[in-house]
A and B are shown apart, each in its own frame.
Chain A
């Protein structure tokens, strides 16, 4: 059923927290996501078209974009400047008001009542592509070989898999991240590690104006000192003892 489920206020909201201050843009999460979801039994394998040719393309459920942010009044001088690069991993945000679910004509697209994960029942999907149009985040990609829509399952075949070690019962992207920029948990439990992180760092929603109420949260990059501060004359006024003496001696030369 593609109407959204009525969920109690305390229902679990499984999702990801992505730390933009930590992500180094290595694409390991992208590759491990592709690998897991191509080998997994959950749904059709993620196909590639022209995989060894010049026009390679394929279905991926997680992609890392890189952005340049130029602060208000920031200087750009040649290659050095106050612009900073932010690596930006993007996958399904498992929205509370998921527009991809309600537009689905067949009932293939659905949001689970028990944990809020948004999934596609590939046996019902006709591959019309309307859900991908409805998603403002580009979280859904058509698998051109299977003719069905693919999306992040939050690794539903890992997180509930009791044959796995406890540490492995997290999405593949979270497990593989070498920088620990990705975190998984119940965003609706204020005591969970992810909820605490969001509260402490001021986690944000992407495109709140779209009214989708995403579950996944992004932790903004921490502020940096302005470039001018780093280039300024270092202040040695606080030196004491030997260093104060050395400072005085060197000043006299």
Chain B
């Protein structure tokens, strides 16, 4: 599948934003200091940036409001509805934290719940597509949820340590979520590497009863919408390299920084280290999301010899 920049940015940043909003909403960080107030603002900013980015690839963005109407059948529509609904408690708890410097626990907890539902809907847009076998698994929403939570916990830990608050439980939580997320992703990748259970050129053409089917000639000599959109392929050796890079930047480096911060028990150095870890995590997640699309094979490629 074509790794569109707008969708990669959208899923990565809205995921991080919802994760951060959820961790903050659970009241794990004291909002009286400036760094934590900034984190509240950042979480809403990331969510907004992600949602805005998601409209960039539309052919007719002026009609985007219509996407809120089909929540009964469409995960994309459900995601849109949930994104708007989630803003209500998040703005409420954000206002309480930033302006009044207090934790609005009910709004925060509701916001955390709705944020999780929104991320789940985002993941289900992909997981519900039977035409893309790599995505069509329960592991897809699990990975999206765990990555969002891990990123959010890391960002919240950064804010707490920068504010000079005791953050040991939060650092441990971030570490545990990182390990859980990358473990889920390892299972997801293992499933990806398994020989396909899905459609083949034989089932796609119905000619399997005669014998082995091979594309002889494409219907046209140049690319078309389908080959551009679904026909993107990344060389296997590059995919393996990028997967390792994603794990290094998005998992191992932040985990080491979290361990160092735990050992240091706070301070400016620990805060700086966590800031770098967050940056590294975002780069790792962008790589992971790029691969999520680039490595997925669409069933239509059975007709295009790809």
Contacts and interface: CB of A to CB of B under 8 A. Distances in A.
Decide whether A and B are members of one complex.
Answer: yes
Contacts of B129: 99, 103, 133-134
B263 interface: no
B265 interface: no
A112 interface: no
Contact of A67 (B63, B67, B72, B215): B215
B198 interface: yes
Nearest to A212: B130
Nearest to B212: A70
B59 interface: yes
Nearest to B301: A138
Contacts of A220: 206-207, 209-210
A210 interface: yes
B67 A210 contact: no
B225 A144 contact: yes
Interface string B130-143: 11100000000000
A102 B74 contact: yes
Interface string B205-237: 111011111111111101111100110000000
A35 B239 CA distance: 42
Contacts of A138: 226, 230, 300, 303-304
A86 B77 CA distance: 41
Contacts of A2: 70, 72-74
Contacts of A66: 215-217
Interface in A65-123: 65-72, 74, 84-86, 88, 90, 99, 101-108
Contacts of A144: 59, 225
A196 B77 CA distance: 41
Nearest to A208: B203
Interface in B78-109: 80
Contacts of B269: none
B214 A70 contact: yes
A17 interface: no
Interface in B1-33: 1
Contacts of B207: 20, 67, 69, 86, 220-221
A125 interface: yes
Interface in B41-73: 57-61, 63-64, 66-70, 72-73
B291 interface: no
Interface stretch (A52-60, A156-164, A243-251): A52-60
Given A63-B219, A70-B211, A133-B129, A105 B67 contact: yes
Given A133-B132, A136-B300, A59 B70 contact: no
Interface stretch (A7-15, A171-179, A199-207, A231-239): A199-207
B224 A60 contact: yes
Contacts of A57: 220, 222-225
Contact of A133 (B63, B72, B216, B230): B230
A158 B69 CA distance: 31
B303 A106 contact: no
Contacts of A184: none
A30 interface: yes
Interface of B: 1, 57-61, 63-64, 66-70, 72-77, 80, 125, 128-132, 198-199, 201, 203-207, 209-220, 222-226, 229-230, 298-300, 302-304
24 contacts: A57-B222, A57-B224, A57-B225, A65-B304, A66-B216, A74-B211, A99-B129, A103-B76, A105-B66, A105-B67, A107-B66, A124-B66, A129-B59, A129-B229, A132-B229, A136-B130, A137-B300, A143-B59, A149-B59, A205-B206, A206-B205, A207-B199, A207-B203, A220-B210
Interface of A: 1-4, 20, 27, 30, 55-60, 63-72, 74, 84-86, 88, 90, 99, 101-108, 124-130, 132-138, 141-144, 146-149, 204-211, 218, 220-221, 223
Given A68-B214, A221-B210, 4 more contacts: A68-B213, A105-B80, A127-B60, A206-B203
